[in-house]
């Protein structure tokens, strides 16, 4: 069995690098007498086209701040983000974001079809083409029959499927997900995790997935980036060497799964204590 291995420091980006984060730092300015908050000190990593990378870290370590900087919603204080070699200065056309709060991200007065089609309409896609793309995206997430339904008629898990359909209908190169399943029950969460793996495999999209859940990060990811506590750096860049075909029962029962999730758990405990040294590889 292979050791737990970490990525080399990303000094030389491979030619297939899609997203490149270099020395990214973010300090929120203080207001009304409060001190400035250095949320992120310096984060560097690369994501290759087609990877599924999970990001975990202690609460408040800056995961959302990082995603906002990656997606052009927030300007970093230092460093840069590049997508396909172009510096990200505003939300890029090639990126779609799925947030935790599906209830607030869907318009209750629009049907499922119109919610999913809205970004395409804004982009000027003609109605006929739009309908085809929307239908295919909803079929991909198992909601092919829900075109004329309204979000409030659906369960939380189904609403999050609609949000995922809207993101993939937009045909992004990078799908960014910020704790998307934190608000659903365990069984729905497992189904949605499998949906993300399937969408990733079917569409070849690059996925960046932020989660609080260590097991989820190992189950989903090809890599797990473990962030330190604030002010944040990348504490570890871990390769998940589990088989590509995963399922909730047999993958989670693998000894390797247990080794990897224990390793990430220990790293996060270290991060919480402010210990930034890496852990040794797990025993063979
Ligand atoms: N707009 C803001 N102004 C000032 N400080 C902020 C702002 N947004 C976030 N912070 C601070 O930056 C740090 C990182 O916050 P962030 O929400 O990015 O972390 P997180 O890892 O996503 O948190 P959680 O795990 O709780 O979801 C925290 O100390 C937070 O209080």
- Point out the domain boundary residue: 123, 139, 171: 171
Residue 88, CA distances (Å) to 77, 82, 83, 92, 95 in order: 13, 5, 6, 7, 11
3-state secondary structure of 119: helix
Expressed as residue numbers, the domain containing 154 is 105-171
**At 216, which helix (H) or strand (E)?**
helix 214-220
Which of 25, 31, 39 for a ligand 1 pocket mutation test, highest count of atoms within 8 Å of Cβ? 39
Same structural domain for residues 205 and 190?
yes
Same structural domain for residues 194 and 57?
yes
Q: Collect all residues with Cβ–Cβ distance below 8 Å to 166 and sequence separation of at least 6.
A: 96, 106, 115, 116, 118, 119, 137
Q: Across the chain, where does the E strand assignment appear?
A: 17-28, 37-48, 52-56, 78-83, 86-87, 95-98, 174-178, 206-210, 223-227, 232-239
| Tens digit of each residue's pLDDT (9 = 90 or more) over 212-229 | 999 999 999 999 999 988
- Angle subtended by helix axes 127-140 and 112-122, to nearest 10: 130
Same structural domain for residues 216 and 254?
yes
Work out the average pLDDT over 184-194: 90
| Tens digit of each residue's pLDDT (9 = 90 or more) over 85-100 | 999 999 999 999 988 8
Which pLDDT band holds residue 32 (cuts at 50, 70, 90)?
A: confident
> Which pTM value belongs to this model?
0.89
Please check whether residue 126 lies inside any domain of the structure: yes
Residue 104 has a pLDDT of 78
Model confidence at 10: pLDDT above 50:
no
| Tens digit of each residue's pLDDT (9 = 90 or more) over 94-126 | 999 988 877 778 999 999 999 999 999 998 999
Same structural domain for residues 201 and 258?
yes
Q: How far apart are CA 125 and CA 45, in angstroms?
A: 34
Same structural domain for residues 221 and 134?
no
ipTM beyond 0.95? yes
Q: How many domains does the chain have?
A: 2
Length of the chain as a residue count: 284
Which pLDDT band holds residue 278 (cuts at 50, 70, 90)?
A: low
State what percent of residues in the chain have pLDDT above 70: 92
Which pLDDT band holds residue 8 (cuts at 50, 70, 90)?
A: very low
Sheet with strand 37-48: strands edge to edge: 86-87, 78-83, 17-28, 37-48, 232-239, 223-227, 52-56, 206-210, 174-178, 95-98
Q: How many CB atoms lie within 10 A of CB 15?
A: 6
Q: Are 170 and 163 in contact (CB under 8 A)?
A: no
Any ligand 1 atom below 6 A from CB of 58: no
Which of 41, 65, 180, 228 for a ligand 1 pocket mutation test, highest count of atoms within 8 Å of Cβ? 65
- Point out the domain boundary residue: 117, 141, 171: 171
Residue of the CA atom closest to atom 9 of ligand 1 = 65
Q: Are 18 and 208 in contact (CB under 8 A)?
A: no
Which pLDDT band holds residue 237 (cuts at 50, 70, 90)?
A: very high
Residue 181 has a pLDDT of 86
Mean pLDDT of the chain: 88
Which pLDDT band holds residue 73 (cuts at 50, 70, 90)?
A: very high
Please check whether residue 179 lies inside any domain of the structure: yes
Kindly give the pairing relationship between strand 223-227 and strand 206-210.
Answer: unpaired
Residue 281 has a pLDDT of 55
- Point out the domain boundary residue: 171, 189, 207: 171
Distance of CA 202 from the midpoint of ligand 1 (Å): 34
């Amino acid at each position: 069995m292979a050791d737990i291995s970490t990525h080399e420091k990303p000094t030389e980006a491979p030619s297939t690098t899609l997203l490149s984060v270099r020395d990214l730092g973010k300090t929120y300015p203080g207001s009304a007498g409060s001190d400035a908050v250095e949320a992120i000190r310096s984060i560097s990593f690369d994501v290759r086209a087609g990877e599924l990378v999970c990001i975990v870290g202690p609460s408040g370590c800056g995961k959302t701040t990082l995603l906002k900087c990656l997606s052009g919603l927030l300007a970093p204080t230092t460093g840069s983000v590049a997508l396909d070699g172009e510096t990200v200065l505003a939300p890029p056309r090639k990126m779609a974001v799925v947030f935790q709060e599906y209830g607030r991200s869907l318009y209750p007065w629009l049907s499922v079809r119109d919610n999913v089609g809205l970004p395409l309409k804004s982009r000027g896609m003609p109605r006929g083409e739009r309908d085809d793309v929307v239908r295919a995206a909803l079929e991909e997430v198992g909601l092919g029959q829900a075109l004329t339904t309204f979000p409030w008629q659906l369960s939380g898990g189904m609403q999050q499927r609609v949000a995922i359909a809207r993101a993939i209908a937009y045909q992004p190169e990078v799908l960014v997900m910020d704790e998307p399943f934190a608000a659903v029950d365990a069984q729905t969460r497992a189904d949605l995790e499998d949906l993300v793996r399937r969408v990733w495999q079917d569409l070849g999209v690059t996925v960046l997935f932020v989660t609080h859940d260590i097991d989820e990060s190992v189950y989903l990811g090809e890599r797990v980036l473990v962030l330190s506590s604030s002010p944040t750096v990348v504490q570890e860049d871990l390769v998940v060497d589990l088989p590509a075909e995963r399922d909730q029962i047999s993958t989670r029962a693998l000894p390797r799964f247990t080794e990897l999730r224990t390793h990430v758990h220990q790293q996060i405990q270290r991060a919480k204590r402010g210990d930034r040294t890496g852990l040794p590889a797990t025993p063979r």
